[in-house]
Structure 1
Amino acid sequence: MPLHMIKLCVGCDTVEDLVAWKAAEAGGKRPWTMQTRQTPKRAPEMVDGGSLYRVFKGAILCRQTITDIKTVGEGPNSRCIVTLDPELILVAPTPRRAFQGWRYLTETDAPPDLGVDGFGDAPPELARQLREIGAW
């Protein structure tokens, strides 16, 4: 069973903002990467089918498949570079409180991809409201 990573998306309010930011960054020619300080100890489990789930304004809204995890540099200057598949997959909006850094996310706790439960065409804001009242 793959292991996933969850991280706050800071500086973008929506998935569309993230896509626009990536397109503007270096003309969209560089691969999708995410940098963090700590390299996951369970990185092999994440590369083997795991995804990076992104939290926007208190809700998990999308994911990207993790293709590689590398540690760059040494000592206090070392960083972890997570390479991601460029395809963003929308997931059922799921509330998530703010946290620092990143966290592991198990397969059982990961939200389903949109379309799986029949509400794939719902606007994200409507989907969030339906989740909050327990109707979705």
Structure 2
Amino acid sequence: MAALHLVKLSVGTETVDGLEQWQQLRRLDFRDGCSRHVTRMWPKREAELLKGGSMYWVIKGSIQARQEIAGFEEVIGGDGIRRCAIVLKPDLIRTQPALRRPFQGWRYLKAEDAPMDLPKGRESEEPLPTELATALAEIGVL
């Protein structure tokens, strides 16, 4: 069975480097060196996600990076509500850009729909003009 992934908007982030910097600061709170993303909903398909799944990050309207999912932890907020901390390995792996429309929360992403990783040493790809990228995405090419 192929791994199942999550896709999530990185709200307030302008670049992959910005996401990395923000996570580095937050990782200082944890001894394991992992990042965490806290969400209200616990994934029902947890077992599938733990078989090699990743969190794919949408930055400025396109998936640009991913992080491997290391696990899930229960977090009780100051309001007493149970939440899920998605534990992410620290390395951000850059991916080929894949346009995504805005959405709330996270979504499941099938392995066959996930963008490919960029080759090691390649920081990014030249973006397509917005109009062309949008048109290609609408017909299912991107």
Question: Same fold by TM-score, threshold 0.5 exceeded?
Answer: yes
**Residue 34 of structure 1 is aligned with which of 37, 49, 57?**
37
Match of 1:17 in 2: 18
d(CA) in 2 for partners of 1:80, 1:21: 20
- Which secondary structure does the structure 2 equivalent of 1:19 belong to? helix
Displacement, 1:115? 1.9
Q: Which runs of 5+ in 1 are unaligned?
A: none
**Residue 63 of structure 1 is aligned with which of 55, 63, 66?**
66
Match of 2:100 in 1: 96
Q: Which runs of 5+ in 2 are unaligned?
A: none
Displacement, 1:128? 4.3
d(CA) in 2 for partners of 1:122, 1:73: 37
- Aligned-residue sequence identity (percent) comes to 38
Q: 105-114 vs 12-21, which deviates more?
A: 12-21
RMSD of the alignment, in Å?
Answer: 2.8
Relative to the length of structure 2, the TM-score reads: 0.79
For the structure 1 residues 115 and 100, does the alpha-carbon distance in structure 2 shift closer, same or farther, using more than 3 Å as the test? same
Relative to the length of structure 1, the TM-score reads: 0.83
Displacement, 1:78? 0.7
Aligned residues: 131
Please tell me the residue identity of whatever aligns with 2:114: A
